[in-house]
Amino acid sequence: MTLEFTYHPAIIAGEDSPQTFSLYFLGERLILPKGVMADALHQLPWTQDSVSAKPVLELVLGDVNGQALRVVELAEIPEGYEEVSLRDYLLASNEDTFRVVNAAAQLRYWRSTQNFCSRCGTGLTPIANDRALVCPSCSYRSYPKISPCVIAVVRKGRQLLLANSNRHRTAMYSCLAGFIEAGETAEEALVREVFEEAGIQVKNPQYLVSQAWPFPHQLMLGYLCEYDSGELNIDTTELNSADWFDIDDLPLLPAPQTVARKLIEAAADRVRTGV
């Protein structure tokens, strides 16, 4: 399944019509036609069917394969639909759908939480030719919020440093990650976060890949780096555990479409090929 997706250049509500797709939310959770979640890898989560439930929010996200796609937040679950965790859906979907739903979730969150000017308190209004909201009183513009983060795999010989976060619901191990602070470069944030969470120093950070992550509005910048010095001393307020794992004896890993999994596989491939 290949999807061509383009953003709409402005914030508009759009029409509920047979020619328009709609992706439904109830707060931060997806509302899917029953049965879609059971085959999330192959079935699309948006539909051309109208629903009787009252919309709380309606926005055009963009075009998918040439047809308009709306983001619609509902006040209740309509008949024939079911409520699904956004995280569970994304981790079960394919990469193309992941990208579109990811963008929809972030736009819905921003629009539902940004209603008033942060400078003077006046209600914000959409702009006809910009993907933003404007204050009619002081002209302040509000754009969708993006919070940059770093996420990194640390390599030591054949071993990779992976951690089980206290936010995980399973025994899955992933990469260390954290937000970039004001005034930091991404590389400075990487060194700081690894030291704060694992107690070690790293060197030679190499940017590899990025990924948007809608919990609620992160942009993950993925790095590979090398162990430099120190002994593991984990921050137990963030992590349940962390350890060095041989590339041929890795624990339960994140889903294939996540930036964490891509970093882990890239690091393991480099070890195997001697890069």
> What per-residue confidence (pLDDT) applies to 128?
83
pLDDT at 167: 82
The structural domains of the chain, ordered by start, are 5-113 (3.90.79), 116-144 (no CATH), 147-273 (3.90.79.10)
> What are 124-174's pLDDT values in tens digits?
999 888 999 999 999 999 999 999 999 999 999 999 999 999 887 789 999
CA distance 146 to 234: 28
- Helix-strand-coil split of the chain, %, nearest 5: 20, 35, 45
Considering the chain, what is the average pLDDT of its residues? 95
Contact assessment for residue 69 and residue 46, using Cβ atoms and an 8 Å cutoff: yes
Q: How confident is the model at residue 264 (pLDDT cuts 50, 70, 90)?
A: very high
- Tens-digit pLDDT profile for residues 201-244: 999 999 999 999 999 999 999 999 999 999 999 999 999 999 99
State the burial class of residue 96 (Cβ atoms within 10 Å of its Cβ: 0-12, 13-18, 19+): middle
pLDDT (0 to 100) of residue 118: 94
pLDDT at 8: 93
pLDDT at 170: 86
- In whole angstroms, give the CA distance from residue 89 to residue 259: 16
pLDDT score, position 15? 85
**Which pLDDT does position 1 carry in this prediction?**
63
pLDDT of residue 14: 85
Q: How confident is the model over 82-106, as a mean pLDDT?
A: 95
